[in-house]
Every structure is written in C-alpha cells, then in structure tokens.
Amino acid sequence: MKIWHPYTQHFYSSDLPEIEYARGAYLHTKDSRRILDAISSWWVNIHGHCHPHIVQAIANQAARLEQVIFAGFTHEPAERLALELGKWLPKELQTLFFSDNGSTSVEVALKMALGFFHHRGENRKKVIALEGAYHGDTFGAMAVGARGGFHRPYESHLFEVIRVPCNDPAVLEKVFQKNPDVAALIVEPLVLGAGGMQMYPSEILRKMAQLCRDAGSLFIADEVMTGFGRTGTFLACEQADIVPDLVCLSKGITGGFLPLGVTLARQEIYDGFYSADRNRTFFHGHSYTANPIACAAAVASLEVFKSEESLSRVRRMSDWHSKRLAKLAEHPGISSTRVCGSIAAMDLAVSDSGYLSQIGPELYREFLAEGVLLRPLGNVVYLLPPYCVTENDINEVYDVIEKCISRSL
C-alpha cells in the first residue's frame, strides 16, 4: 500500500525520513539523526514534542472515556476546556463550537455567518477576504483563500468572494460602500501564514474591524495559526484592541498532540439559531466533535501555557529573531525581513518568486541535510519554532539558513 503525503509532489520525493520519536524541539529519525523542528511540525507544537504534562493527561483520559457522540451528550473534558479557554478570552466570546481542525473551524464560522443573516431574513450573502489569504483546504475554506496553484482545479466549484489587500483599508471601505449585502469579512489577523508570512500592523486590523462593524457585517478572525501566543498575545486581535464576532482556533490548541478545532461566537450569533423551529438548528457536526482525549490534551496545554509563562517565552524569541535578522538583512540574497512574536520571515531575492519558486524545495533539502526542519513557502523562508527552544537553538537555525542561502544564491 502506497502512502500519499500532503503537499508533496512524489515525483521529487521518493525517500522520506522516518521519525522514530521526538522530544522538546527535536525530532529523531530511525537512522539516528537529530532534526531541530523550527516550524513546530506545521505550526501545531507550541510547547515542544511529548511534553510530559500533556502526555499524562492524554493517558489518564484514554483510560476513562475515549469517545462519545457529542450530539445530545456532553462530558467533563469539553466542559472544562470551555471554562479554561474562556479565562483567556474576551467576555464577548463565550460561546464555542467544536470541530476537527483549522479548516473545519473556518467552515463553521462561514456557515454561522451566512446562516445568521438568513435566519434574520437579511439578504446578506457576500463574503470579503484578503488577497493572498489561506484558510484551509475544505471547499468553503478554499473559496475564501487565494485562488491559484493550490485551488485551480476546483475554482469552478467555489463561491465568489470579494478580495481586498491587507495593507489598504481604503479599498475595503469602498467595497463596503458598493456592497451593502456583505455578510462577513474574514481575515488572518496580523500575519497571512501560507500566503508567505505577510505581516501588517495592528492599526490596519483595527480599521478593518471598524469598517466591518460600521457596515453591519460580521468580522471573522482566523486565528488558527496566530492564536495561543504566536504573535505575542494570546490572540493576535488583542493587539488591535478588537473583539471579533467569530474566531477560528486550532493548531496549537492541544499543544500539537491531537486534532481539534474551535469556533468562538458572540452570543447574538448563537441566539440567531436558538428557536423552537428545528429548521433553525445549526446543522453541522463531525464524528469526533469534542473528542474527550483531544479536549483533555487542550486543557493540559492551557495549563502548560500558563505555568511555563509562554507569552514571556515568545517575547524572548522575538528578540532573538530580531537580533539575527538584523544581520541577515544585509545579505545580498535577502530582499526583506520581518518579525511578529515567535514568527520570523525573510524574502529571498530570486527571479521566480511565489509559492512554486524552485528555491523553496532546494533549500528545504539543504536545511534538512544540515539537521534543521524548515519548509520554505516558495522564496519565503520562515521560522515558527516551539516555545521551548533556547537561544542556542535559534542561533543554530540562523547559522544553517545563512550557510545554505550563501551556498545557493
């Protein structure tokens, strides 16, 4: 039986490293190599691999209740997660819906937004998204993501979306003026992840939220990647002093152990579906909705987030990034650099920029040969390490980047 791996062109990838175990910031291969996981294994592993507190919480829960249908039932891990997560969130966001991953949390938010206006009898069906955005690979998430290489074969099946740049609120203002029937604006706050780690200031995020509010539309914040401290605050939206109508969370929620998604909603959105009329039920669910083991892992991850002062760790990481990028910015092969919390990125000066730039897979192989897992987004090299990394770990990564770039450019 052949395994088909995600985002992998197997024409070029025939010999894949086999990971035998992992500890902290390091992966260990079957052939005894050690690889520094500088991207948190696709941005999910915030505390480091196999954190003992989360390991124990999972073992305890697995021996007690592994799974139960969540339609018509509840359980202690889900109730506790809702309670503990609520302590980190604004009081306006105290209703949550469980799903499986980041993409499904976005699907839920979009369906909530469109269903909300449908039940109110308002003809608001349009959605605005940012240019260069990525929100997942299910069909609704693909629709609000950037069109192009990722989604080209499916474009004819995706609903139309109005797109605006992330750095010019004036364009968004004009769009709202011309389109009074907008249901929602969805954004990746502060950092557009898979779109090349594009970053924009909190002032623009605040302005976008205000324009959305003024238009009577719902503001959806996709915090799947930016949540749980990645940008320096628990939610990126805190830096703009805004509370969205809907927030999508996943990735770091279980500390990288198990898949889980959450969509947070304001009370009025929940109330829009609350009715004696069963036709107004929110008809959405997954077999593993609020899986007890995943919820227990998420509770344990929040405990680690607090006990290990993760936000302080992120601030230190930001300083380490800035220090090394100041030097790398002078490299002739690098055209720009940027930092936001634990996230650092640099654009390589190559002629074929973009996600399919040939430099990406070439550097990926070189980084891996040097013992570092970095997965460039085309000509964009980025770091998004777990919070347990040391300054020596960060310096090791930058040394490898400098060495490989100097050799390749």
Which residues carry out catalysis? Answer: 7, 134, 222, 251
The Cα-based distances of 252 to 13, 225, 238 in angstroms read 28, 8, 17
Q: How far apart are CA 347 and CA 340, in angstroms?
A: 15
Q: How far apart are CA 63 and CA 162, in angstroms?
A: 49
Whose tokens are 């036709």? That residue is 279
Q: How far apart are CA 71 and CA 73, in angstroms?
A: 6
The Cα-based distances of 183 to 59, 162, 176, 216, 291 in angstroms read 43, 11, 10, 8, 31
CB of 230 closer than 8 Å to CB of 192: no
Q: How far apart are CA 308 and CA 125, in angstroms?
A: 44
Q: How far apart are CA 340 and CA 343, in angstroms?
A: 5
Own/partner long-range contacts of 329-333 (Cβ < 8 Å, ≥24 apart) = 331/402, 331/405, 331/406, 332/409, 333/405, 333/406, 333/408, 333/409
CB of 347 closer than 8 Å to CB of 376: no
